[in-house]
Amino acid sequence: MATLLLNADMGESFGPWSMGQDEAVMPYVDLANVACGFHAADPDTMRRTVHLAKAHGVKVGAHPAYPDLVGFGRRSLACSPAEVENLVLYQLGALDAICRAEGTRVHYVKPHGALYNDMMKNEAILAAVMRAVAAFDPGLPLMLMATANSRPATTLAGQHGITLWFEAFADRAYDEAGFLVPRSQAGAVHHEPAVIVEQARRIATGEPLTAIDGTPLRLAAHTLCVHGDNPESIAAVAAIRRLLDDLP
């Protein structure tokens, strides 16, 4: 991919409970990570989100998670690699059915929350996710975190015959190894729109970020994750879209 693609987590409402502002964010992004029912969403929410994405020409990606509705998928569960492989396959199949009904398809896979973080630290979990993607459709890219050293993940993906899309975050702080600072730690999430947009610019242009310990950090990314949970963050998303569109 020649340009940095914007992705956002979508379809994370559940029944009458509303999460996010998908209709406001969708016009600005290239990729919609659609929750598949394990950490958020239900069949009606999934179909509405896929319909909205298609209407805006946005590619749909599966956003599978641990089965943890109460914890919004942000708690690590003691799942074996075989269980991880199967729960990812299950969620891919559910979203694929919704996409088929809407005349589109699943374009990529991005695990959510604790599953996403666990696969970055545990090779057995990452391999299980890769096996699920390869079994479902080896042509689907797997999105995972861009870090200071992405070679191990690239090697493992080659062994499973799948493609990787590396992802960076405009609104999160990083440690010196290129991992996200835990949300429980002060300063882990950026809230100022100017800070978020500047971090996006640095990622898009290949300039170093400043890790939380003050060291420079370069991240090579294919896609940038943005969030639109409130009016301020939606303004930041719009500014990032303009920034990327104006880059040579």
Q: Of the candidates 136, 145, 143, which has an alpha carbon nearest to the alpha carbon of residue 105?
A: 136
Q: Of the candidates 224, 197, 173, which has an alpha carbon nearest to the alpha carbon of residue 9?
A: 224
Determine the pLDDT at residue 232.
75
Q: What is the mean pLDDT of each run of 10 residues along the chain (248 residues)?
A: 86 94 96 98 98 98 98 97 98 98 98 96 97 98 96 97 97 94 89 91 94 94 87 88 91
Determine the pLDDT at residue 2.
58
CATH number of 5-246: 3.20.20.370
Determine the pLDDT at residue 178.
95
145 forms bridges with which residues in the sheet?
167
Determine the pLDDT at residue 29.
97
Q: What's the CA angle centered on 38, arms 142 and 29, to 5 degrees?
A: 50
pLDDT tens figures, 179-206:
999 888 988 999 888 999 999 999 999 9
- Residue 246's identity, in one-letter code, is D
Q: Per residue, what are the HEC states of the chain?
A: CCCCEEEEEECCCECCECCCCHHHHHHHCCEEEEECCCCCCCHHHHHHHHHHHHHCCCEEEEECCCCCCCCCCCCCCCCCHHHHHHHHHHHHHHHHHHHHHCCCCEEEECCCHHHHHHHHHCHHHHHHHHHHHHHHCCCCCEEEECCCCCHHHHHHHHHHCCCEEEEEECCECECCCCCECCCCCCCCECCCHHHHHHHHHHHHHCCCEECCCCCEECCCCCEEECCCCCHHHHHHHHHHHHHHHHCC
Determine the pLDDT at residue 67.
98
Determine the pLDDT at residue 164.
98
| Domain ranges across the chain | 5-246
